[in-house]
Structure 1
Amino acid sequence: MRIFFVALAAMAGCLFCTGIPAAAQTVRPMLALQDAIRMAASAASKASAMQRAVSIVVVNREGRVILAQRMDGASFVSLKVAEGKAITAAAVGVPTRMLEQQVDGGKPASLSVPDVVMVTGGLPIASASAVIGGIGVSGGAPDEDETIAQAGLSGGSKAD
């Protein structure tokens, strides 16, 4: 009888030892630190060329900061605003300009969402298959912030 229970326990244990088959596992693309560094460097270069002191923040798909930098002369508040823009763009998957336009167009319901920054200057970072993060820039005029963020996207390779 004891052998029966030992054998039964061993078989039950094997059920829990088997993992998910490799074919069923999904590999989600992620944003690498090196990509974030390249994006921030490209954005900072564009900001310098435009003679703007800005803050640049890159977040992953969960809104966690990968890289944050404040250029010399940028307001300390701009760092928090840039972070909010990056998080919003990553969470929603669209440029923050679109959210700002919704509010300006008479759809203020979006304003009730906590921690959402609906000011131009945040862009989603996408791989071929998904949004993998966001970049936010603050310190210039909203259109300038978006131009600088776009330079960051153009300068950093996206993870696949």
Structure 2
Amino acid sequence: MRKMLFSWIVALSLVLFGGVSAFAGDVVKTLPGDITLAQAQKIVAAALKKAEEIKVPMNIAVVDAGGNLKAFVRQEDAFIGSIDISIKKAVTARYFNMTTRALGAVSQVGQPLYGIEASNNGLILFAGGVLLVDANNVIVGAIGVSGGSVDEDESVAKAGAAVIK
């Protein structure tokens, strides 16, 4: 009985951890319509350039089409509290396929999405989260920036997003 149980554990471990492929054929590394690491790095570089131009230290987060963190950078002297904000801005934009500024406008008291910020483990509803849309008009991710005023954050995010087109 112990040998049989051990054999099952070993076999399951091999399947789960790559010793034996459970699937035939090629493994897809990037989903269609998803951002690549190279693209994310170019977006971050463009956003960093804009942040340096306006002389405001920023936290810059890029998420993929599924809202998962793909790239992140924190400039020296950028607020530590803005790390989480930048990531949540990117995630919020991607989850709702609109800028965080636009979502914020429809989530005010008396508006149809009032209270939405309490969903999804917390959302950010002020400017600085922008969708990443490729040349084929496909959403491939989002960028979130935090560290300055909301207008400064958004200008840095837009500078990064412009690279993907």
TM over 0.5: yes
CA offsets per residue over residues 29-76 of structure 1, 9 Å max, x none?
220111111111110110111010010000001111110110011011
Q: Which runs of 5+ in 2 are unaligned?
A: 1-24, 26-30
What's 2:124 paired with? 117
Q: Residues 124-135 of structure 1: matches in 2 within 5 Å? A: 124-127=131-134, 128-135=136-143
CA distance in 2, matches of 1:75, 1:133: 24
The residue number in structure 1 matching 2:158 is 150
User: Is 1:74 matched up with 2:81?
Assistant: no
- 1:97 is the counterpart of 2:105: no
1:42: which partner in 2?
46
Q: Which amino acid in 2 is paired with 1:149? A: A
In structure 2, the partner of 1:61 is: 65
Alignment coverage as a number of residue pairs: 133
**Residue 112 (structure 1) shift:** 3.1
Aligned counterparts of 2:92 and 2:108: Cα–Cα separation in 1: 17
User: Aligned residues: percent identity?
Assistant: 30
| Cα separation, 2, equivalents of 1:120 and 1:126 | 17
RMSD, aligned α-carbons: 1.9
Q: How far did residue 143 of structure 1 move?
A: 0.8
* Larger helix percent: 1
- What TM-score results when the alignment is normalised by the length of structure 1? 0.77
Return the TM-score normalized by structure 2: 0.74
1:30 has 2:37 as partner: no
Q: Give me the whole-angstrom Cα distance separating, in 1, the residues matched to 2:118 and 2:85.
A: 17
**Residue type at the aligned position of 1:98:** A
- One-letter code of the match for 1:111? E
SS of equivalent to 2:115: helix
**SS of the residue aligned with 2:86?**
helix
Higher relative contact order (CA 8 A, sep 6+): 1
Aligned to 2:72, the other structure's residue is in SS state: strand
Q: Quote how far apart the aligned CAs of 1:77 are.
A: 1.2
Q: What is the deviation of 1:99?
A: 1.2
- Which residue of structure 2 lines up, in the alignment, with residue 83 of structure 1? 87
Aligned partners of 2:81 and 2:115: how far apart in 1?
25
The structure 1 segments of at least 4 consecutive aligned residues displaced by more than 2 Å after TM superposition are 103-107
